[in-house]
Amino acid sequence: MSKMNLMDSLFFLVESNQTPMHVTPMMVIRPDDQHKPDFALRLYQTLLGKQPVESPFNWRPRLSLTGNPRWEAVPVELDYHVRLSAVPAPGRRAQLNELLCRLQSQPLDRSRPLWELYIIDGMSDGTVVLFMKLHHALFDGVGLNRYAKAMLTRTPDHHDWTPIWQHPAPDRKSMAAPGFVKSAVAALSGAAGQSKLLPEAMRLGARLCGRALGVRHGVTRVPFTAPRSLFNRTPASGRSFASLTVPLKRIKEIGARAGASFNDVILTACDMALNRYLEERRITLDKPLVVMMPMSVRESGQLNANNQFVFGLVELSRGQLMPLQRLNRIRRAAMTTKNEIRHFSAELYQKYGVAIQALSLLAGRVGLERKVPASSNLVISTVPGPQEPRYIMGARVLEVSPMSALPPGQSLNITSYSFDGKVCLGFLGCRKVLPDIGMLATYLERALDELELAVLTQPMSLFDLYRPDLNGAVPGPKTQSPAAIEPVRNRAG
């Protein structure tokens, strides 16, 4: 049996029927005219014959209140995990989204390996949809992305095609997790209890105290200071979903002209869309929204099937700033968070992040999210995918739209996935809180239009680029240019 690490066990600790902790990527594929008839059925039959099932796809959780949670290998019934489905007439995106929301809201069976794959037929345009549910305790976004890239082929020739569950995982790096009764205590005291991490833990605490007292700038956001917002409600069981696809070249051109990264542009466009959504509903906030941005600490090429990321808190924009001022402020805030993470070991920052999120998530889990200050308002993550055409059993992949999980105390998640020259953004929300979630996709597209117009028509001054704090941004170090800082890889969840 394989041990769970601390981050893996956290997902089980906060999971409920209303907040299932699985990620659900959706892939749209188009078979050629020759193979289009009954393609979904033939794909389903082919997948049922793909044995054996390798780890971690043959693992189920063995949970304990007092002992160490572990994974145990069990026989896999592929005809249970691989399913053939269809959208109702007329087979358009609205009907597909309704089906996906229903499937996404249903928890996985913990008595079996924690994944399901749906082959969905019946689309009016002749495409076939693959929808996979995988528990977040098994995969983070970057790890799952590397499995998916290993599964997809570079040419239409499908003879060497291997499904995702036949790519064995290397040995897991495990930071052993204690039983659930001890998990919260371990998360809060584990970092200080290890002598090698104690100096770092004290230094991190001093930096955060300095920021909280207002005597230190250029330090990451202090936890539990996010404004209480519409997005900080524990979700009910129903889900709403919308997606948006934009050219990757467009995002990169905006970033290049503004001296910003891909992540900065995505965060800014999301901030503009979220503020417009709140304004349309006459909801005002006394402080800017704070997003939780998962950042991968996974080594290059690593396929370990556990979670290897840390949480970073990024404060978005305040007030009615112009698009470029907003972008520069968010760029500086994101850079500050990334630089802060680099000052400490990944192990310490992961434990710190688990402790902070455990308090927030457990409060939401027991219905106390209105009593405990919010550490963040929502999760926004980005995952880079392959930038060339990919195929599955000869059919070209047209779109990969991410759907992550809604944790207790949060009713919205935004994830972007770049693939084959496109950026696919997935908006997953609580149906009760955000029944009109499609408006967020509309507002985000409008935000990109405004950013594009701003970088083309408004001159960029040196003060805008290097001192965005003069326009209301978070002040930070002035000795390093953006190009001199190596980016931290972001991920999905």
Phi and psi of 6, rounded to 5°? -60, -40
The class of domain 216-382+407-414+421-484 in CATH terms is alpha beta
For the residues 253-270, what does the mean pLDDT come to? 95
Residue matched to tokens 């509903």:
281
For the residues 131-145, what does the mean pLDDT come to? 82
Catalytic residues: 136
Q: Over the stretch 459-469, which tens digit does the pLDDT of each residue have?
A: 655 445 554 44
Asked whether the beta carbons of 428 and 104 are under 8 A apart, the reply is: yes
In this predicted structure, the answer to whether residue 33 has a pLDDT above a threshold of 60 is yes
Asked whether the beta carbons of 181 and 66 are under 8 A apart, the reply is: yes
Which of 7-11, 144-148, 225-229, 435-439 reaches the highest mean pLDDT? 435-439
- Alpha carbons 477 and 201: distance in angstroms, whole number: 22
- Alpha carbons 455 and 468: distance in angstroms, whole number: 16
Q: Tell me what the pLDDT averaged over the chain comes to.
A: 80
Q: Over the stretch 347-401, which tens digit does the pLDDT of each residue have?
A: 666 666 666 666 666 666 666 666 777 888 999 999 888 999 999 988 999 999 9
26-30, 144-148, 273-277, 422-426: least confidently modelled range: 144-148
Q: What is the pTM of this model?
A: 0.81
pLDDT-derived band at 162, boundaries 50, 70, 90:
confident
Domain limits of the chain?
Answer: 216-382+407-414+421-484
pLDDT at 458: 74
More confident residue, 355 or 482: 355
In this predicted structure, the answer to whether residue 306 has a pLDDT above a threshold of 80 is no
pLDDT at 478: 39
Asked whether the beta carbons of 30 and 398 are under 8 A apart, the reply is: yes
pLDDT at 1: 65
Nearest to 349 by CA among 136, 476, 200: 200
Which of 107-116, 281-290, 405-414 reaches the highest mean pLDDT? 107-116
